[in-house]
Structures are given as structure tokens and as C-alpha cells.
A and B are shown apart, each in its own frame.
Chain A
Amino acid sequence: MLRGACRMLVLPAVLIAGTAAAAGPGPDQRALLEHYRRLAGVESFSPERGRTFFLAKHQGGKPETPSCTTCHTDDPRGPGRTRAGKPIEPMALSVNPRRYTDPKKVEKWFRRNCRSVLGRECTPREKGDFLAFMFSQ
């Protein structure tokens, strides 16, 4: 019991130290990208396509949210803002290395935000390109 508790305290400390020191995606983030790569059946993702997707005005979604930039702004390194005025932390991995570490959270927001913006779920390739772009920022 006690030893378990100690281990639980040590683990987060290691994780925090690990992400702070690392430049570029960590193991969780690489695993997530690999997950989408296998689903998409592609060799690799394109940060350039991810950028275009992120900046584009899309059709088919809700009129209030035509683009990812509606809330995340066109600068991934800067903070965003929800429509109700709440600040959103930057999306770029270099500024916010804690992002994209919880696959459930990532999937939840892809599902909702893609439905709001495009009126459908994003494909694994769109998700991978988006992540590749954010990892490059």
C-alpha cells in the first residue's frame, strides 16, 4: 500500500521532468500519431496539409464555427478563446507540451469540434495531419 503510494508520487514527477526536458513529441504523443497513422493506412502525415486544414473555412458545419481558428485563432502558439469568452491554452506542442497526451480527451474534442466545424467527424488522416502540424509548431 505505502510502496504503491510512493510509486504513484514518483511517476508523475518523472513524467513532468520528461516532458519539460523533451523537445518535440514525447512517447504518448508519438504513440497517438502512430495510432492515427495505422488507421489512415498512410506512410506519414503532412504538417503542410494540417496547416491548410486548420486555417481553412469549412462548409457543412454550424454557422457559428466555420473554422478551427474561430476558437484557436490562426496562431497555434498563442492562446485562443471560446465563444463564451473563456481562454483556451495554445495548441502548439512547443508552447504547450502537455497537450495530446490523453487519447480520450483528444478524441472527444476531435469528435465535437469536427462536427461543429465540418458537420462530420474528421478522418484519421485529417487528425494525423492536424497533429503533425501542431507537433511542428
Chain B
Amino acid sequence: MVRTAVLLLLLATTLPATAGTAATGGEALYREECGACHLAYPPRFLPAESWRALMAGLADHFGEDASLAPATAAAIESYLVAHARTRRVRADRWPPLRISELRWFRHEHEEEVSPRAFRRAGTWANCGACHRDAERWRFDDD
């Protein structure tokens, strides 16, 4: 009995560390660090080049210093790059640094969103103001 309990406990403590790849730690770090000022946006919305450019420019990130310790930044970058968008995406500049500047985003939002809803959100970057399930990376709820 005690031995199975110990075994289960051992499994529970060692499994996440061994079974999970670097991405597990990377995702947790990403959600924690990049979720401090805004939604930790779903990696699948931007191509790898965008994430690399964003990670290279954290000291001047949209008018703020969002810099990280090098090891933390490296773990987050590999997570983002591994889960980035691989299908082609269209934007007016390359690489795009915002989801909200992608063509599909502008089409989807410019027609559908009332000026009142936008004023309440304040900025397109505030996905959660309009998408209740944004934290769970679901955007088709409304």
C-alpha cells in the first residue's frame, strides 16, 4: 500500500519532467512571461519568422521594455517556433509583428466589430475583451 503510494507519488513528480519535451516547460514559461501584459497569444497565429523577430526585439517591444533573461527567452522562442503557423499568411509587411495586422484578421474584424465594442477593448491586442474564451485560445465563441 505504502509502496504503491510512494510509487505513484514518484511517478507524479517525475513524469512531467521526463515525459514532457522542452515544449512543456516552454509553454508554461510562455504563458507566464508573455501573459503578464496581455493574452499569451496562440503561437499558431504567427509564422516562426514573426516570433523570432518579436523575441529579438523585446527590449523595445511596442514601446515597452519586455526583456527576459537569455535562458528564459531561448526556451520561449523554441516553444513558439515549434508551434508557429506553417501555412502561408498574408500581411502588408514581412515579417508581421502583430496578429492584428494580418489580412485575415483585418477582414474578420473590420466588418464585424462595432465601434462601441472596439472602444471598450481599447486595442485589438486586447482579444479577451471580446472573446470570452481567449485564455483557452478559442475565438469562435461569439
Contact = CB atoms under 8 A, between A and B. Distances in A.
A121 B21 CA distance: 36
Contacts of B78: none
Interface of B: 2, 5-6, 9-10, 36-39, 59-60, 62-67, 121-123, 125-126, 128-129
A64 B60 CA distance: 11
Given A2-B9, A82-B38, A85-B38, A63 B126 contact: no
Contacts of B62: 64, 83
Among A1, A64, A84, residue most surrounded by chain B Cβ atoms (within 10 Å): A84
Chief secondary structure at chain B's binding surface: loop
B129 A85 contact: yes
Interface string A2-27: 10010000000000000000000000
Interface in A35-59: none
Nearest to A119: B65
B65 A112 contact: yes
B43 to A, nearest CB: 17
B38 A62 contact: no
